[in-house]
Amino acid sequence: MKRCFQWRRAFLFLFLCLSAITATAQQAVKGKVTDAADGAALPGVNVTVPGTQAGAATDANGNFSITLPAGAASLRFSFVGYDAQTVAVGAQTTINVRLQAASKGLGEVVVVGYGTQTRRDLTGTVSQVKGADIRNLPVSDPAQAIQGRVTGVNIVRSDASPGTTPSIRIRGTGTINDAEPLIVIDGVPAGGLSDVNPNDIASMEILKDASASAIYGTRAANGVVLITTRKGNFGEKLRASVNVYRGVSDALRYVDLLTAPDLVMLKKERYANDGIAPNPVWNDPYYSVQRTDWQKAVLGTGHVTNADAQIRGGNAASNYLFSLGYYDEKGIIENSYFKRYTARINSEHKLGKRVKIGENLQLSLRQNQGFDTYSSQTGLLFSTLRFNPAIPVRNEDGSYGTGKASSELGDINNPVFTLETSDSRNKYYRMLANIYGELEIINGLKLRANGAFDGGLTDNYYFNPQVLDQTRVRDRAELSRESRSNSSLLGEIFLNFKRTFAAAHDIDVTGGYSVQTFKGDYYRAERRGYNDESPDQRVLDNGDILANINGNFDPDRALASGFVRAFYGYKGKYLLTLTFRADGSSRFSPDNRWGYFPAFSAGWRISEEKFMKDNLAFISNLKLTGGWGVLGNSNVADFQYLAPINKDRRYSFGGTAVTGIWNSRLANPDITWEKAKMTNVSLEAGFLENRLTTTVTWFVKNTTDMLVPAPEMDVHGRAGIPDRNIGELKNTGWEVEAGYRGNAGAFTYNISANASFIKNTVTRLYEPGTYIGSASYGRQQQEISRTYEGQPIASFFGWRTNGIYQTQDEINRDPALANDSRKTNIAPGDVRFVDQNNDGKIDEGDRVYLGSPNPDVVYGLQLGAEYKGFDFSASFSGVAGVKLYNADKMQGLDPTFPFNYYAEALNRWHGPGTSNTMPRMTTLNNNGNYRTSDRFVENGNYLSLRNVALGYTIPPSLWGNSGITGIRVYVACQNLFILTDYSGLNPELGYTDGNRQRGVDVATYPAARTFTFGASLNF
């Protein structure tokens, strides 16, 4: 019995010891994380145990609880926008932490190519936009959301139709060819942004200089945009969120046009001025009655709807995120729309202590329908601004109004008929998937392998009905179908070594190999003649005539690359980054296939010096950086070093017709990369504990070996001429940004502003006096833009004017017409053009530079505030020092055409002294009053309130224990107003002939103002 009692005592003692050990090994800690500035709870803060897989996240009220494994001595708290903090645990069971907001994220992690860095260690120029800042904006493309938010970046939309992909220009336009930046999504170079749900984005990094971008080598000359999508967190409880908003849109501006009575008056006047009897149609009282405002008939009310849901979470070994998104934008023009459906799965898993695998999968479907708003023959907006206002939308019998009664009414169709009978749909299916694995070989040395697939399938459908009761007839209905598939495979493997030695030397080295292949194919078929045009009969088999069929493979391409980047920091004060990449592309000949792209940058954190800390304590951060590097651009036509051979060419030999082959293009075996050499210097400063921050950057980017069309002197035949590497272009400028964050009790606020000052100059073309032309516009085929050596790219080029001839005596005495054969046909009321070369005549030799469509200044302003659950934000953007060419006004005021006119025509010259700006009404074009001239060059400066929102987060006490952790409701507006002197529909004009023509108004789809109401729920 005694022995049994002793055993019991021994087991009890052992149990108590084990319990104590277990309790020590699994110490439970709880607490709360708040903002050091205002005490507000911070949800979603990552709480981790350094050196282990244990982790947790704070809930909606900032609370956390975590069980520490044996031997754990500290907890690390990290959150986007705040400096990370590590706290010793000791015997504490409750730890409350106050996180300090980081100055421009000095302590936060920034994504760079093939890795990450803390912002304090960056020596390159990288701008970051957090996903939270652009969430729930009513935009179809994430690029639209960053307009005005990033210095040095200009977002340009060629038109405002739903789903239009905007152009992104980073530090100016760097080439006459494709100047779009490289887009990298979750580490995969992956084309455009339109397939990405903006609400899935965690952050966007814009790499602007050579040091930051050189690791992408040949594709980085135009900058790099890195997209990192949202993920779950290790140790995070299951969370869900739902975001929904609904909006309504209307036209932002209208153009003043003539009413029917005024139009008839001016039509008669033009005949009287020419001594011609007016056409009988203008004596018909029917056409003196105003029946239709065609802008109001075509530009109606649009709607936008967005809904997305997301679940995320994780345990000690895995994390995951799953999201679904739906975006539906119906434009302000009927039957124009854009829809996007998205699904995303991101996950990551730890296999033991040293192995990690993960995947990112994005599936998307885009659908859209739009209209031609560029043509000066059949463009929808062109027709809207020209169609006669006396004609009704529909006649009393229900048929569409038409201008067939007379050629004086123009050769355009009723625009409402066009938009209501149009039937076209475009679909694009895309899958972007990547899988990766990471092995930590030893502490600080990791091996990572990535594999990715990016595939898309395009399906386009166009049906044009038979048209017999409009001016422009179509004898047979037409149906065309197009299909295109494209895909790329990516394989990468690289090593990363990161270690700190002697608490002073920080080393971070990345090096690896990458290969990416591309392939695709397409077909197109068209049939005409449909006896039954019912929607269910609009298939190719039902067409009577096969009009066209073709298809082929796209040339297979490949890009192989090796890269290395090394970072060294000494005591956090002296920083150095070296980067090198070698690229080999199948686009170029074997002799020119490889390009080499070095870069370096250095930084000095002056604020870490003892003399700064001792004497200038109010300066919280001061860093000087500078760098140089070479980047490449391979966004050019494929295989220009070869001479393609086409079949089915007809020849005649001895009068006998034969069919053979031919070279459709000559070869240029010397063609190679375009290169951009960039130098920049930056000064970054923070004051008052980093509440006030500012950065100033100077840069110069020289593009060399720019591919331009080769001159065709003494060339006969029809074979195409390949491009040559002979152009050079320079962009120089300054970037300035500043921000301030503060609070007054529970009221917190922030303000930030940025501005970019950029000068663009073409420094070399063929030889002095030569130029690269651009597309002509209008019924008169007016050339508007030219690119000359010594001037900005795509400059306006035409005649300068000096008022209106008031009398015949002024014409007789004008030395500019002394030798002009047109002099006898010029009359009072015609435009006086300037004789630039003083040869006594007005001709091509008098055309001069009229202005640049490239803005001197691009700027933005952001405001934000929060107070007891209320939040407010506003984002402004604008440009200055820019000229626009109103080509539509040039066409819309020309009385030699049988259309309606701009209301400005009422200010025409109709006698001496009546006008010195608007010429007389005439049916003749003897003087070319409406040729390309400074009369249509306008100031394009504008300031737009891009986005403004007011939200309220409902207190948790109102929904109790329903499982909801947060509800926010808000109202917002996009494009609330735009301040500008420009007279057209929209001063935000884009590209109409690639980079060769910009800022030319051809009456494209106008901008809309959108009001939205939405709600976000977290569970």
Q: Write out pLDDT tens, residues 22-61.
A: 334 467 899 989 877 656 778 778 888 876 667 788 886 7
CA–CA separation, 890 vs 117, rounded Å? 53
798-817 residues labelled b (16+ CB within 10 A) or e (exposed): bbbbeebbbeeeebeebebb
Q: Write out pLDDT tens, residues 625-650.
A: 999 999 998 878 888 888 888 877 77
Q: Of 427, 329, 415, which is closest to residue 372 (Cα–Cα)? A: 415
pLDDT grade for 712, boundaries at 50, 70 and 90 = low
Give the 3-state DSSP-derived string for 568-607, with helices as H, strands as E and coil as C.
Answer: EEECCCEEEEEEEEEEEECCCCHHHCEEEEEEEEEEEEHH
Three-state DSSP state, 707? strand
pLDDT grade for 170, boundaries at 50, 70 and 90 = very high
φ/ψ (deg, to 5) at 323: -140, 150
Contact 369, 339 (CB under 8 A): no
Q: Picking from 14-28, 222-236, 485-499, which range would have the lowest pLDDT averaged per residue?
A: 14-28
CA–CA separation, 297 vs 159, rounded Å? 20
The two structure tokens encoding residue 721 = 């001429």
- Integer CA distances (angstroms), 307 to 99, 429, 568, 873, 964, in order: 33, 19, 46, 21, 18
For residue 690, what are the contacts with CB-CB under 8 A and spacing of at least 6? Answer: 101, 102, 103, 104, 106, 620, 621
The two structure tokens encoding residue 297 = 């008939």
For residue 33, what are the contacts with CB-CB under 8 A and spacing of at least 6? Answer: 41, 42, 45, 47, 58, 62, 64, 77, 79, 96, 97, 98, 99
Three-state DSSP state, 817? helix
CA–CA separation, 243 vs 226, rounded Å? 24
- Integer CA distances (angstroms), 746 to 306, 397, 812, 866, 867, in order: 32, 66, 77, 8, 6
- Which helix (H) or strand (E) segment holds residue 260: the answer is helix 260-273
- Answer whether residue 333 shows pLDDT above 70: yes
Q: Summarize the confidence of residues 862-875 as an average pLDDT.
A: 92
CA–CA separation, 774 vs 994, rounded Å? 9
Q: Picking from 132-136, 183-187, 429-433, which range would have the lowest pLDDT averaged per residue?
A: 132-136
- Integer CA distances (angstroms), 325 to 198, 282, 340, 1013, in order: 10, 56, 8, 17
Three-state DSSP state, 988? coil
Terminus-to-terminus CA distance in the chain, angstroms?
A: 60
Q: Is 241 exposed, middle or buried (0-12, 13-18, 19+ CB in 10 A)?
A: middle
- Answer whether residue 11 shows pLDDT above 60: no
> What pLDDT, on a 0 to 100 scale, did the predictor assign at position 37?
61
The two structure tokens encoding residue 642 = 């070869």
> What pLDDT, on a 0 to 100 scale, did the predictor assign at position 192?
81
- Answer whether residue 719 shows pLDDT above 90: no
**Residue recorded with tokens 């921000």:** 739
pLDDT grade for 960, boundaries at 50, 70 and 90 = low
**Residue recorded with tokens 């130098």:** 679
Q: Write out pLDDT tens, residues 467-514.
A: 999 999 999 999 999 999 999 999 999 999 999 998 889 999 999 999
pLDDT grade for 5, boundaries at 50, 70 and 90 = very low
CA–CA separation, 719 vs 707, rounded Å? 18
- Answer whether residue 3 shows pLDDT above 60: no
pTM, two decimal places: 0.88
CA–CA separation, 644 vs 654, rounded Å? 27
For residue 958, what are the contacts with CB-CB under 8 A and spacing of at least 6? Answer: none
pLDDT-above-90 percentage for the chain: 69
Half-sphere exposure (CA, 13 Å, Cβ side) for 747? Answer: 1
**Residue recorded with tokens 């140089």:** 628
Give the 3-state DSSP-derived string for 207-218, with helices as H, strands as E and coil as C.
Answer: ECCHHHHHHHHH
pLDDT grade for 107, boundaries at 50, 70 and 90 = low
- Answer whether residue 928 shows pLDDT above 70: yes
Q: Write out pLDDT tens, residues 534-570.
A: 999 999 999 999 999 999 988 899 999 999 999 999 9
Q: Of 362, 312, 323, 80, which is closest to residue 205 (Cα–Cα)? A: 80
- Answer whether residue 4 shows pLDDT above 50: no
- Answer whether residue 161 shows pLDDT above 80: yes
Q: Summarize the confidence of residues 201-229 as an average pLDDT.
A: 92
β-pairing, 978-980 vs 942-953, is antiparallel
Q: Write out pLDDT tens, residues 145-160.
A: 999 999 999 999 888 9
CA–CA separation, 13 vs 6, rounded Å? 10
pLDDT grade for 330, boundaries at 50, 70 and 90 = very high
**Residue recorded with tokens 């799965």:** 345
Strand partners, 993: 995
CATH architecture of the domain formed by 28-99? Sandwich (2.60)
Contact 377, 370 (CB under 8 A): no
CA–CA separation, 526 vs 539, rounded Å? 10
Q: Of 82, 204, 70, 103, which is closest to residue 145 (Cα–Cα)? A: 204
What is the residue type of 848?
V
CA–CA separation, 207 vs 170, rounded Å? 9
CA–CA separation, 152 vs 545, rounded Å? 53
- Answer whether residue 89 shows pLDDT above 50: yes
Cα dihedral 781, 783, 784, 788 in deg (nearest 10): 170
For residue 497, what are the contacts with CB-CB under 8 A and spacing of at least 6? Answer: 444, 445, 446, 507, 508, 509
> What pLDDT, on a 0 to 100 scale, did the predictor assign at position 101?
63
Q: Where are the domains of the chain?
A: 28-99
> What pLDDT, on a 0 to 100 scale, did the predictor assign at position 364?
96
> What pLDDT, on a 0 to 100 scale, did the predictor assign at position 38?
58
Of the segments 109-113, 229-233, 433-437, 650-654, which one has the largest average pLDDT value? 433-437
For residue 871, what are the contacts with CB-CB under 8 A and spacing of at least 6? Answer: 864, 865, 949, 950, 951, 952, 953, 968, 970
Contact 116, 988 (CB under 8 A): no
Q: Write out pLDDT tens, residues 973-1010.
A: 999 999 999 999 999 999 999 999 999 999 999 999 99
Give the number of other CB atoms < 10 A from CB of residue 654: 5
Q: Of 141, 129, 132, which is closest to residue 327 (Cα–Cα)? A: 141
Q: Output the average pLDDT for the chain.
A: 90
Contact 640, 670 (CB under 8 A): no
- Answer whether residue 19 shows pLDDT above 70: no
Give the number of other CB atoms < 10 A from CB of residue 715: 10
Q: Picking from 98-112, 176-190, 812-826, which range would have the lowest pLDDT averaged per residue?
A: 98-112
Cα dihedral 706, 712, 717, 723 in deg (nearest 10): 0
Bin 303: left if φ > 0, else alpha if -120 < ψ < 50, else beta.
beta
